[in-house]
Amino acid sequence: MTNYKGDFLDLLKAQNCQIQLDLPATPAAGGTLSSIQETEGTTVLAVRYKDGVLIGGDRRATAGNVVMYDRAEKLLQIDEHSVLAIAGSPATAYEMARVLEHSFQYFRRSQLQELSLEGKLRTLSRLIRENLPMTLQGIGGVIPIFAIYDLLSDDENGGKIFFYDALGAHFESADFATSGSGSVWIRGILFYQNRWGDKPLADMDEQEATITVLRLLDAAAEYDSATSGYNPKSNIYPTVKTITKDGIHNLSVERLREVYAESVETTYAR
Amino acid sequence: MLDEPYRWLEAVNNRRDYIEDQLRGGSPVVGLKYDDGLLLVTISRGQRKIFEVHDRIALSAIGHSADVERLRMMATDTASVQGFQSSVDDVTLHRLTHFVLGPTIKQSFEAIFGSAYIIKMLLAELGVQGGGEGFISLNYDGTVQANQHSEVIGGSHDAEIAMQNYLSAAETSELPLDSALQLALETWVVGWELGVQQTDADSDGEENAHSEPATDKAQLHEVLREELKSGEIEGAVLEASRRSNNKFRLLASDEISAAVTDWL
């Protein structure tokens, strides 16, 4: 078969590789809603700062009130300039990220050009929409944030943040986006900080943006049992990445430790 | 008629002649190891000839552009699906050439009522920690040849031998990228010159046994300068030190001119 569109999902279907579970949108008559306790992800956030996008995520994965895993990676690099931050079911989210990564590469390799920003966003929309039957069943729902540095942007800062709803609609967020169960606690703080704080997020340098993101993750962990902040017993820090025109950079644990000790653990003296 | 063995052999041989005629004018491709991976170089005229197939695999070809496109897509599709289904580490050049491309080309070559692929391919693979690294070339009849250090494809068998000889006479180990590029370009001229001479000889109806490959550097450079008036150097690397999983990179034009300008 010749695939003229460079569409990886079509290629997989043509080769009989099923990527999504074929569930009906409603449980069978007489059946019950899922009785499995699914693993879920929790707080991720992205802010547009001076050089691009800074994105952070906690490390906890929970199933009900059980902590399943304390080292979950929720910021998934898709290509050299984009990151998918996941909240929701990791089983679906990791697969989504994998399909996305392979789709972008397949398009570039087969069509001999990079997939456009709009094309990348549409691909993710389609994945989320095709996941709708699962989401309606109450399992496997994913609401991600997609952050990218757009090299073709007219703006001097090509950092862009998009968030999605469960049906796959994407919205561009000018300054920041949050997702996951802990996000309700920090969305308002971000709004406040961006509007009345010392400076707007877009003017912050990497250091300032890192402090903001780590503090907010700490705040989310304070109120949301499914979000972990810094875990001193096992020395686990949240993950933070920057996306700039030079590509994606992971902030090292040493760097996070430094920022954490200087600017997150300190509070007003009493 | 063709069910008689002799007729069948004759038909296959006619096919061989036909395809070789079609390929003769092709611009050679040179594959060479350098100190940070593998390099593929050719001189192209408007149409791209070197392609990314997968994280560690690159492909180039001479022949009919529609055939190149069909087989390139087949290689890309197969590698992409395999890489997705299990792991990108399970995609290997050996499997791609021996299980997919080779048999496909052979089958259509011998199906004498159908059309054959007019193609020669040269593929390169950057190994994981040095293992499985090297080049594999595919002939129009589906035969496969592997070489760890260098490999060439050209318009004719003679041109390929001349190019290989030129390469084996040169120092090829641990070359930096610009020296490797220069050597590859000289090798390209050796193959190209021979191809041109043979095509001329054919059209004059003469025997071409007298054509000797040029190996004098000044002469090679002269021809290269001449060819670059109408053609463009195209090069790509599979770069071991590249930070991404994806090791393929087309050489930028300023990178190429930096390596060539003072030298030529």
Here the CATH number for the domain that contains residue B183 is 3.60.20.10
The partner residue sitting opposite A110, judged by closest CB among B73, B84, B244, is: B73
Q: Would you call B81 and A109 a contact, using CB atoms and an 8 Å cutoff?
A: no
**A42 part of the active site:** yes
A11 sits in which H/E element: helix A8-14
Contacts of A1 (CB under 8 A, 6+ apart): A14, B77
DSSP codes of every residue in A15-78? TT---S----SSPPTT--S--S---B---EEEEEETTEEEEEE---EEETTEEEES----EEEE
In a domain, A33, yes or no: no
Distance CA A62, CA A68 (A): 5
Q: Give bridge partners of residue A57 from the DSSP assignment.
A: A44, A239
Q: How far is the C-alpha of A172 from the C-alpha of A164, rounded, in Å?
A: 9
CA dihedral sign, ordered B20, B22, B24, B30 = negative
Q: How far apart are the first and last CA of chain A?
A: 71
**Alpha carbon distances (Å) from A94 to A54, A88, A236:** 21, 10, 21
Lowest-pLDDT range of A202-206, A234-238, B153-157, B247-251 = A234-238
> A166: exposed, middle or buried (C-beta count within 10 Å: 0-12, 13-18, 19+)?
middle
Output the pLDDT for position B46.
Answer: 84
Dig out the tokens for A235 from the structure. Answer: 């020395």
Give the residue from A18, A105, A108 with the most B CB atoms within 10 Å of its CB, the best one to mutate. A105
Residue A15: inside a domain? no
List pLDDT tens digits, range B163-194. 999 999 988 888 999 999 999 999 999 999 98
B chain contacts of residue A11, beta-carbon cutoff 8 Å: 77, 80-81
Residue B2 has a pLDDT of 62
Residue A12 and residue B84: Cβ atoms within 8 Å? Answer: yes
pLDDT at B119: 97
Using CA atoms, how far residue A16 sits from A13, A22, A26, A130, B109, in Å, is 5, 13, 25, 16, 29
Instruction: Answer whether residue B4 is part of any domain.
Output: no
Q: What is the DSSP letter of A88?
A: B
Domain that holds residue B120: 27-260
Chain A residue nearest residue B71, CA to CA: A2
How far is the C-alpha of B139 from the C-alpha of B101, rounded, in Å? 10
- Which residues of A have a CB under 8 Å from any CB of B? 1-3, 8, 11-12, 15, 17, 80, 98-99, 102, 105-106, 108-110, 112, 247
- A134: part of which helix (H) or strand (E)? helix A132-137
Number of domains in chain B: 1
CA-nearest of B152, B126, B158 to B32 is B152
Taking alpha carbons only, the member of A55, A51, A247 closest to residue A157 is: A51
Do B8 and B112 form a contact (C-beta atoms < 8 A)? yes
Q: What is the 3-state secondary structure (H, E, C) of chain B?
A: CCCCHHHHHHHHHHHHHHHHHHHCCCCCEEEEEECCEEEEEEEECCCCCEEEEECCEEEEEEECHHHHHHHHHHHHHHHHHHHHHCCHHHCCHHHHHHHHHHHHHHHHHHCCCCCCCCEEEEEEECCECCECCEEEEECCCCCEEEECCEEEECCCHHHHHHHHHHHHHCCCCCCCHHHHHHHHHHHHHHHHHHHHHHHHHHHHCCCCCCCCCCCCHHHHHHHHHHHCCCCEEEEEEEECCCCCCCCEEECCHHHHHHHHCCCC
How is residue A39 written in tokens? 């693993």
DSSP secondary structure code for residue A182 in this structure = T
Query: What residues in B contact A105, CB-CB < 8 Å?
Result: 80, 246
User: pLDDT by residue for chain A (270 residues), tens digit each?
Assistant: 556 788 998 898 888 887 766 665 565 555 555 556 666 668 999 999 999 999 999 988 888 788 888 888 999 999 999 999 998 888 889 999 999 999 999 999 999 999 999 999 999 999 999 888 888 877 788 889 999 999 999 999 999 999 998 888 999 998 999 999 889 899 999 999 999 999 999 999 999 999 999 999 999 998 888 888 788 788 899 999 999 999 999 999 999 999 999 888 877 655
Residue in A3, A102, A108 closest to B84 by CB: A102
Question: What is the span of the domain harbouring residue A173?
Answer: 39-264
Q: Determine, yes or no, domain membership for B87.
A: yes
Q: Mind listing the pLDDT tens digit for each residue in B60-107?
A: 999 999 999 999 999 999 999 999 998 998 999 999 999 999 999 999
pLDDT at B211: 60
ipTM of the complex: 0.90
The answer to whether residue B12 sits within a structural domain is no
For β-strands A82-85 and A145-149, DSSP reports them as antiparallel
Q: Contact B77/A110, CB-based, under 8 Å?
A: yes
Average pLDDT over every residue of B229-256: 94
Distance from CA of A227 to the nearest CA of B (A): 30
Judge whether A70 lies within some domain. yes
Contact predicate A182/A221, CB 8 Å: yes
Which whole number is the average pLDDT over B121-126? 97
Contact B105/B125 with Cβ under 8 angstroms?
A: no
Residue B83 contacts A, CB cutoff 8 Å: yes
The maximal CA–CA distance of chain B, rounded, in angstroms, is: 61
What does each C-alpha distance from B19 to B2, B22, B102, B215 come to in angstroms?
20, 5, 16, 28
Strands B119-125 and B57-63: antiparallel
What is the tally of structural domains in chain A?
A: 1
Q: What integer pLDDT is reported at residue A57 of this predicted model?
A: 94
CATH number of A195's domain = 3.60.20.10
Q: What is the largest CA-CA distance in chain A?
A: 71
pLDDT of residue A217: 93
In a domain, A269, yes or no: no
Pick the more confident residue, B205 or B94: B94
Tokens read off for B42:
């050719």
Q: Taking CB atoms and an 8 Å limit, are B80 and A106 in contact across chains?
A: yes
Min Cα distance B251 → chain A (Å) is 15
Separation between Cα atoms, residue A167 and residue A144, nearest integer Å: 12
Question: Pick from A21, A251, A264: which is nearest to A136 by CA?
Answer: A21
Q: Which residue has the tokens 């968030």?
A: A163
Is there a contact between B80 and A102 if contact means CB atoms under 8 Å apart? Answer: yes
pLDDT in tens, A121-153: 999 999 999 888 888 877 788 889 999 999 999
